[in-house]
Structure 1
Amino acid sequence: MKALVHEEKTGTKGLSYREIAELEPNAGEVRVKLKTAGLNHRDIYTLQRHKPTDPPLIIGSDGAGVIDAVGDGVSDIQVGDEVLINPGLGWKEKSDAPPQGFEILGLPFHGTFAEHVVIPAENVVQKPQYLTWEEAGVLSLAALTAYRALFTRGQVQSGMKVLIPGIGSGVATFLLQFAKASGATVYVTSRSEEKCRKAVELGADKAIDSNGDWHEALGGEKMDLVIESVGAATFNKSLDQLRLGGTMVTFGASAGDVVQLNIRNFFYGQFNLLGSTMGSTEEHREMVQFIEKHQIRPIMDHMYPLSQFEQAFERMEKAAQLGKIGFHIR
């Protein structure tokens, strides 16, 4: 089968679109003939974590397609089923943190940037019929990350004021849609005027310049909840926008992972700071039910043939996208 394989060199220089041996499902596993797959920031980090001395690896975490083989013991999934993939391996029930052994598809196990992928049967769910293949293929990782951060960790409620810095990412666009569907008032930031404009079109109550004075731009309003994924570049500005006793949930550090915190201001503010990651199988099921109830679709940025992976990675590395970047597999 054709696949996007990382080997021999660090970063994108180690990627090649080539033939690789196809796998057969073992007991409890299924094989998915992939139609589409989604690119995530995790894939860029994987290119640094997967060493040149490691065995060749098919990268990619998100995908959707049709079941074309099932292993022994699989009874509730049939050949021909249209499915999307939950990339989280080994985290079944909702919990404070993932259990030991939790992994994400695409490292250390072969991922979705290929014509086929073999995964545990519990990691596929029926594709919501209203989603296109393009939408289904880019959904799970970003939507599940947003769902856990906003609902499980952030405990969002109708009427809350929610701030989402850095609106361009796929997770951020899900956060915006999820929070609005929950009845929250949502504010976003971006350095891009175009992204700010599009965010308002998508339902944001206000979009402001990330480089400006947030307090002034927001008219002094304070937030009940901030979902922070940018990192050091915005962390303290985000914290400054919290009301007394407010909560900040953080799950990303694309613009720096070391911050300086005024601890006195923090404890006098009675703030809550929570970390978050992708999420469990239980939360993935809740997330799919939520998007079906509200008919939420991923915001699509651009789809590429998998053979044009260089263009897709370049677009993400430049943070040029608004929403999800994906691949057509065939």
Structure 2
Amino acid sequence: MKAAILDGIKNRLEIRETELPEVNPNSSLVNVKYCALNHRDLWIYKGQYAGLKFPIILGSDISGVYENAEVLINPSLNWGGSELFQGPLYSILGLPANGGLAEFVSVPHQNIIDKPKHLKMEQAAALPLAGLTAYRALFSRAKVTSTDKIFISGIGGGVALFALQFAVAIGAEVYVSSSDDSKIEKAIQLGAKAGFNYSNETWHKEFLKTHSGVDVVIDGAGGQGFSQLIKICNPGARIALYGATRGTWSDIVVQQVFWKQLNILGSTMGSEQDFKEMVQLVSSHSIQPVVDRIFALHEINEALQYMEAGKQFGKIVIAVNE
């Protein structure tokens, strides 16, 4: 089969023929049609991810065909027996197991899910990892309801956009932030009430001048500026933290956390049940994933460069085998 293969840190991915993936009694081959990129793929490429091994076929977000049916793949492997946290054997498709930047992928039977009927295949590929992460952060961890006022940081990335779309779908009031005013405008078109440019270090003061505090924060950045999110929280608010793209916290005033009785909730990917519920939410509300751009498989290196530039609004999708 044809695949995009990474042989080492920062090596260009090569398109070449390789053997079909092995299957066992608990797994099946899926014919990959589209595979969306995540920052995880970029971090692996740059050597900034744990458990590196080479050669590797990247790609966690897959739509394809299995037994003549159009399907999605749940990229959470071996979640474990608890809905509260992943078990010791947990991994994500695309490392250590080969992923979807290939004509075929081998996955456990239970990870193959029917594609929502209203989605095109390229839209469906945009859904799995980011949609699952957003769903768990919102609903399994932060327990969001329609009466909550929600703030989502870093709008434009896949998880943040799905968090916006899911929260709007249930009727919640949503605010967003970005360093790019054009992304804020696009988010407002998707249902956000307003947005704030975090390049302005006093954006949180502007927020509080015109709005009361928020009940929930969904954040994937961490790092410097996290303290501003704490300042816009109502007492008893929940902060679901699903990533740390800006690094570790450096400016938190701890007293504000305990005095406000805030709940800081770690959230990673999601369980099999989370994935099924996420797909059901997307289907029942006819949610349309935002696809920024589609690249051909032979353009995979250009696609990674485009992701690193950070200009996308929505998911970057690779047409593997149209």
Following superposition, the deviation at residue 53 of structure 1 comes to 8.8
Please state how far the C-alpha of 1:220 moved relative to its aligned partner. 4.7
The match for 1:22 among 20, 23, 48 is: 20
Residue 127 of structure 1 is matched in structure 2 by: 115
Structure 2 CA distance for partners of 1:168 and 1:38, relative to 1, 3 Å: same
Alignment-derived partner of residue 281 in structure 1 = 272
Q: CA deviation at 1:158?
A: 1.1
Q: Quick one: which of 205, 227, 230 aligns to 2:218?
A: 227
* 1:2 lines up with 2:2 in the alignment: yes
Spell out the pairing of 1:58-207 with structure 2 (5 A cutoff).
Answer: 58-67=57-66, 79-91=67-79, 95-207=83-195
| 1:124-172 C-alpha deviation (Å, 9 max, x unpaired) | 1011111001011121000000000000001101121100011010111
Mapped partners of 1:216, 1:203: distance in 2: 23
AA aligned opposite 1:289: Q
Alpha-carbon contact 2:147-2:172 (below 8 Å) kept = yes
From 268, 282, 294, the equivalent of 2:285 is 294
The 5 A counterparts of 1:227-266 are 227-266=218-257
Structure 1 runs not aligned, ≥5 long: 68-78
Normalised to the residue count of structure 1, the TM-score between the two structures is 0.92
How far the C-alpha of 1:182 sits from its partner, in A, is 1.5
- Note if contact 2:94-2:100 (Cα within 8 Å) is conserved in structure 1: yes
The equivalent residue for 2:203 is 214
- TM-fit CA distance, 1:46: 2.0
* Separation (CA, whole Å) in 1 of partners of 2:49 and 2:3: 16
Sort the Cα spacing of 1:51 and 1:143 in 2 relative to 1 into closer, same or farther, 3 A: closer
CA contact (8 A) 1:62 1:141 kept: yes
Shifted more, 218-227 versus 148-157: the winner is 218-227
Q: Conserved in 2, the CA contact under 8 Å of 1:156 and 1:182?
A: no
CA gap of 1:19–1:258, structure 2 versus 1, over 3 A, is farther
State the number of aligned residues: 317
Is the 8 Å Cα contact of residues 185 and 205 (structure 1) preserved in structure 2?
yes
Mark the CA change 1:93 to 1:83 in structure 2 (over 3 Å): closer, same or farther.
farther
CA contact (8 A) 2:152 2:160 kept: yes
Structure-2-length-normalised TM-score: 0.94
Which residue, 309, 315, 318 being the options, matches 1:324?
315
CA distance in 2, matches of 1:196, 1:245: 27
CA distance in 1, matches of 2:163, 2:127: 13
The CA distance in 2 between the partners of 1:52 and 1:246, in whole Å, is 35
Contact kept? 1:10, 1:52, Cα under 8 Å: no
User: In 2, distance between residues paired with 1:123 and 1:285?
Assistant: 10
Most deviating of 58-67 and 257-266: 257-266
Please name the residue that 1:57 is paired with.
Answer: 56
Question: What secondary structure sits across from 2:107 in the alignment?
Answer: strand
Classify 1:94/1:51 alpha carbon distance in 2 versus 1 (closer, same or farther; 3 Å).
Answer: closer
Superposed CA offset, 1:43-82 (max 9, x none): 1122215799944111111111112xxxxxxxxxxx2122
CA contact (8 A) 1:85 1:124 kept: yes
- Render the CA deviation track for 1:243-274: whole Å, top value 9, x for unaligned: 11111110111122343422222111111101
State the secondary structure of the residue aligned to 2:312: coil
Segments of structure 2 that go 5 or more residues without pairing to the other structure are none
Question: Contact conserved, 1:303 with 1:325, CA < 8 A, in 2?
Answer: yes
Q: Matches of 2:4 and 2:248 in 1, distance apart?
A: 29
- Cα 1:321–1:94 change in 2 (3 A) is farther
More deviation in 13-22 or 287-296?
13-22
How many percent identity over aligned positions? 39
Q: C-alpha distance in 1, partners of 2:266/2:141?
A: 8
Distance 1:52 1:171, change over 3 A: closer
Measured at CA, do residues 266 and 258 of structure 1 come closer, stay the same or move farther in structure 2, by a change above 3 Å? closer
Q: 1:94–1:283: 8 Å Cα contact kept in structure 2? A: no
Q: In 1, are the aligned partners of 2:204 and 2:229 still within 8 Å (CA)?
A: no
CA contact under 8 A between 2:80 and 2:90: conserved in structure 1? no
CA distance in 2, matches of 1:150, 1:93: 21
- How far the C-alpha of 1:20 sits from its partner, in A, is 1.3
